[in-house]
Structure 1
Amino acid sequence: MEFLTWKIEEKVAVVTINRPPANALSRQLILEVNEMLNAFEHDESVRVILIHGEGRFFSAGADIKEFTEVTSGEEFSKLAAQGQEVFERLESFPKPIIASIHGAALGGGLELAMSCHIRYVAEDAKLGLPELSLGLIPGFAGSQRLPRYVGTAKAAEMLFTSEPITGSEAVQYGLANKAFQNEELLQKSTELAKKIAEKSPIALKAAIQMLQYSKDASYYEGVKAEAESFGTVFVSEDAKEGIQAFIEKRKPNFTGK
């Protein structure tokens, strides 16, 4: 593992994302998330997984510079579908997964966090999907998961404006479970993980399976459509301008092409 490390204590695997400076989600990091799940799925010493970020952020988003290496819409759609597959596996994983969010969970970082079963946040953390500010859209099922937590109106506002909400607001809108002072966040998250780890693994697995029935057919149709649209949008002139403006740290000039 290049970007993920972990330690196991009292049936809890504490997983750390360590890809400075912003823990941006690259294809390699997403691959390592899947490998981490492979490692823990049949490991009886692990009953609960806790994911947090090293440094200033949980994850400040996808690796935008890596996107410049992709040229075709079909490849972008495939990239989105691959990320969606890993995040769907997170959400349906037979062991509870907790995201402990400090600093920021933006774009792909929030999509990763939304795939976890429970989210504890720092009160001043920033959570959002800012893709439209780059002329893009979410690609890892963010457009489908966010409305399930905050409602369609709030999701639309967050998507259209690209403005994040705070950790405290995330609790208010149902995106997070509880908010804490930054210095006590990881401790409280770990306490929750250890409490859950005391439960029957068989019962936990069954409960997670039951939660998956809350996702109807339209959800999966939406996820597939998002991946396809992700590719279409990413090869537009506006997307190229948005990515270049992000890299050059300037305001983009969108033309609608």
Structure 2
Amino acid sequence: MSSSATDPGLREERAGRALLLTLDRPAAGNALDEATILALRARLDHAARDETLNCVILCGTGRFFCAGGDLKAYRALENAAALERVFGAARALLDAIEAHPLPVIAAIDGYALGGGAELALACDLRVAGAGAVLGFPQLRLGIIPGWDGTERLAARVGRGTAMRLLLTGERLTAEAAQAMGLVELVAENAREAALRLAADLEAAAPLAIRGAKQALSTLELPRAEARNLAAGVFARLWFTEDHREAERAFAEKREAVFHGR
């Protein structure tokens, strides 16, 4: 596994065809200030153009995955324009995660609270460590989720359960979060489990990985439109060199060697 320093508050590592982006502000619970929001967005945009990658893993340093927004830094926001600049950038970051061409995996070791839980909800897959805790305590701060978290939460658990979680600020264990569909996998160590998932992707064709995410992004579209989009993705993949290589490998009883073409 290779690593490199990036912007303050964010570390980047490469593990095979996976890119790990680690929030590295442990003294602040890995909370997102404006600089970290912009740095994370820039790294995701760069990863989207890297054809050697097949997934992105988001994780945090220390006891927190992410404590949400950096409330200490946000105290300096004195007007609506400043608020929209920072929170608009955060909402754009989460939208970029959803729209990213690669699967984005949230490796939740420790606490994912408030905006940290909203960040996890924007990812494609959520892996929770054995001691992970998720919650939405924003109402106790006199606000509601500010990064479109109400919509994402209700879409995953239903309106009634979302209302309960918001009103009570209940903190969920990894197992409770999995039971209600907030996370897909619970493991002793989320980062290691996410790396194992990434390793499993090595057997899949790179273009097909991107195509699968694109096809699954149609779930909110009208049925006919969603089917047409998925059919278009399928047809495009059918004529790729990787698909032909998979056909040859199947006939020759060997592992396929994909090149992303």
Calculate the TM-score normalised by the size of structure 1. Answer: 0.79
Kindly indicate whether the alpha-carbon contact (under 8 Å) linking 1:8 and 1:46 is maintained by their aligned counterparts in 2: no
Matches of 2:144 and 2:82 in 1, distance apart? 15
Tell me the SS of whatever aligns to 1:15. Answer: strand
Q: Does 1:158 align with 2:190?
A: no
| Partner in structure 2 of residue 96 of structure 1 | 103
The answer on whether the counterparts of 2:66 and 2:112 sit within 8 Å (CA) in structure 1 is yes
Q: Distance in 1 between matches of 2:43 and 2:123?
A: 14
Once residues 214 and 81 of structure 1 are traced to their aligned partners in structure 2, the CA distance between those partners, rounded to angstroms, is 25
2:142 aligned with 1:135: yes
Q: What is the aligned partner in structure 2 of residue 24 from structure 1? A: 31
The aligned amino acid for 1:45 is: T
Task: Give 1:216 shift.
Answer: 5.3
Distance 1:216 1:147 in 2: 17
What is the aligned partner in structure 1 of residue 217 from structure 2?
212
- 1:185 Cα offset (Å): 2.7
Q: 2:205 aligns with which of 171, 178, 200?
A: 200
Residues of 1 paired with 2:192 and 2:214: CA distance?
A: 28
1:11 paired with 2:1, answer no
What is the SS of the residue equivalent to 1:213?
coil
**1:17-76 Cα deviation digits (max 9, x unpaired):** 101221011111111111111221121232111111111110112101122111223432
Tell whether the 8 Å contact from 1:121 to 1:167 is kept in structure 2 after alignment.
yes
* 1:249 counterpart residue number: none
Task: Count residues in correspondence.
Answer: 215
Q: Take 2:221 and 2:83, find their aligned partners in 1: how far apart are those partners?
A: 26
* Cα pair 1:104 1:127 within 8 Å, conserved: yes
Aligned residue in 2 for 1:43: 50
SS of the residue corresponding to residue 6 of structure 1 reads strand
TM-score, normalising length: structure 2: 0.78
- Alpha carbons of 1:94 and 1:197: their partners in 2 closer, same or farther (altered >3 Å)? farther
| AA aligned opposite 2:9 | F
C-alpha distance in structure 2 between counterparts of 1:80 and 1:197, whole Å: 36
1:124, CA displacement in angstroms? 2.6
Instruction: Return the alpha-carbon distance in structure 2 between the equivalents of residues 128 and 63 of structure 1.
Output: 16
The amino acid across from 1:2 in the alignment is P
1:171 match: 178
Of residues 148, 154, 166, the one that matches 1:147 is 154
Once residues 8 and 80 of structure 2 are traced to their aligned partners in structure 1, the CA distance between those partners, rounded to angstroms, is 28
State the SS of the aligned residue for 2:43: helix
Partners of 1:48 and 1:26 lie apart in 2 by 25
Letter aligned with residue 23 of structure 2: I
C-alpha distance after superposition, 1:90-128 (max 9, x if no partner)? 011001111110110011111111111100002331111
Measured in 2, the distance between the counterparts of 1:9 and 1:89 equals 22
* SS in structure 1 of the partner of residue 217 of structure 2: helix
**Residues 167-204 of structure 1: per-residue CA shift (max 9 Å, x gap):** 111110001001122xx332221100111243222212
2:84 counterpart of 1:77: yes
Structure 1: gaps of 5 or more residues: 218-257
CA contact 1:124–1:168 (8 Å) conserved in 2? no
| Greater Cα radius of gyration, structure 1 or 2 | 2
- Alignment correspondent of 1:190: 195
